[in-house]
Structure 1
Amino acid sequence: MTTTTALRLEEITAKNLKAALAIRVRPDQEFAVTPVAHSLAEAYVHPGTAWPRLIMDGDRAVGFLMAFLDIDWHEDGGSVIRSGLWRLNIAAEEQGKGYGRFAVRAVAEELRRRGTRELWVTWHPGDHGPENFYLTLGFHKTTETAEEESVGVLPLP
C-alpha cells in the first residue's frame, strides 16, 4: 500500500466502470461477497440508499465498497433506521495491504459526516469469511442475523 494520501474513494463513472467490474476477490471468498456487477445493479435500483465507491490507490483500482444509507431495518417485529457497509470487495492480489481497513474507516467518516452514530455490517460466517477482519476493527457481533449472515455494529463516537 502506498501512502494514505494516495488512497481515496471515487464515485463509479463511465471512466472507471471497467476498472470497477474487474475487481475480483479470491476464489475461496466468492461465497462471502457479491460480485461488483451485481452490487452496481442494486445501486442502480436503490439510488437513495446505495453509496457505491471504487477504492483507489493512486491511479490503481484496488477494491470496491458499497455503503447503505438510512435503510428501514426490520428487527424483532419493529424497525429502526440504520446505515453501514453493504459490500466490500478487495481485489485478490491487493488483500493484506490495508485497503479494507482504509475502506471501513472511509465509510465510518462519511457516516459521521452525515450524523450517524453507528456503522452496521453483515457477513457470511465461515472459515474464509471476514468475521475476524471486522472484529479486529472494533465491530461487536450482535445476536441478530440477516438472511443467515452475522450482524455487527461499530459505534461512531
Structure 2
Amino acid sequence: MTNSAPSAAPSPSGASPALEEITPSNVEAALAIQVRPEQEFAVTSVAKSLAEAYVHPETAWPRLIVDAGRPVGFLMAFFDIDWKQDGGSVIRSGLWRLNIAAAEQGRGYGRFAVESVAAEIRRRGGRRLYVTWHPGPHGPERFYLNLGFKDTGEKSEEETVGVLELD
C-alpha cells in the first residue's frame, strides 16, 4: 500500500514522494537506509526500529519513504501511547524514528515524513505531533525547530521532547 501526504511538495525527481508499508518485497531496501556517520549517535537503526515495531504492532507505524520507486528514507510513527509523565500519564502520538539516507538529506524528504505523520495523526483525530531528539551539533534539533516544533521542557531519557500543534 502506498500513501502520499496531501501537503507534500514535489520531490527533486518531479514525482511526489510516497510512503510504503514495510513488506517482504521492500524490507531489504528499508534495512539499507543509512544516515551520515556523524548522525548515528542521534538515530536508531532501521533494523532495531523494525524489531520494536514487531513487538509493538498496536502502536508502531513503520513506513519506507520512496521517491519514484527509489527508497530514500524510513519513518516510524506511534499512535495513542500512554506516555508516563510526572507520576501521571497522557495519551500521545508522534514521530518515533526518522532516518533519511545520507545522500538524500536536504531534499525535503524529512519534511515530507513529518507532514505525512501529521496528516495521519489528524486523520485519527489527534491534534499534536510529538517527537524526541538527541541534542548535539549533528543532531536534528534545528530541523525540528524549523518545522515549528516547540521544546516542551521534558526529557525522555536523554532526549528532548518536542511538540507540534496541528490545529
* TM-score between both structures, scaled by the size of structure 1: 0.98
**Offset at residue 148 of structure 1 (A):** 1.0
Q: 1:47 pairs with 42, 52, 57, which one?
A: 57
| Pairing 1:16-27 to 2, within 5 Å after superposition | 16-27=26-37
Match of 2:92 in 1: 82
| Pairing 1:1-157 to 2, within 5 Å after superposition | 1-3=12-14, 5-157=15-167
Whole-angstrom distance in 2 between the partners of 1:11 and 1:126: 31
Question: Which residue identity does 2:60 align to in structure 1?
Answer: A
Whole-angstrom distance in 1 between the partners of 2:61 and 2:24: 16
**Offset at residue 116 of structure 1 (A):** 0.3
**Offset at residue 64 of structure 1 (A):** 0.0
Can you list the C-alpha shifts for 1:45-86, whole angstroms capped at 9, x where unaligned? 000010000001011000000001110001111000000000
Whole-angstrom distance in 2 between the partners of 1:29 and 1:90: 10
Whole-angstrom distance in 2 between the partners of 1:2 and 1:73: 39
Question: Which residue identity does 1:70 align to in structure 2?
Answer: D
**Offset at residue 152 of structure 1 (A):** 0.2
Moved over 2 A (4+): none
**Offset at residue 2 of structure 1 (A):** 2.4
Question: Which residue identity does 1:59 align to in structure 2?
Answer: G
Match of 2:4 in 1: none
Whole-angstrom distance in 2 between the partners of 1:62 and 1:29: 16
* TM-score between both structures, scaled by the size of structure 2: 0.92
The 3-state SS of whatever aligns with 1:97 is coil
Whole-angstrom distance in 2 between the partners of 1:144 and 1:75: 9
Question: Which residue identity does 1:115 align to in structure 2?
Answer: G
Whole-angstrom distance in 1 between the partners of 2:29 and 2:153: 37
Match of 2:3 in 1: none
Whole-angstrom distance in 1 between the partners of 2:75 and 2:26: 14
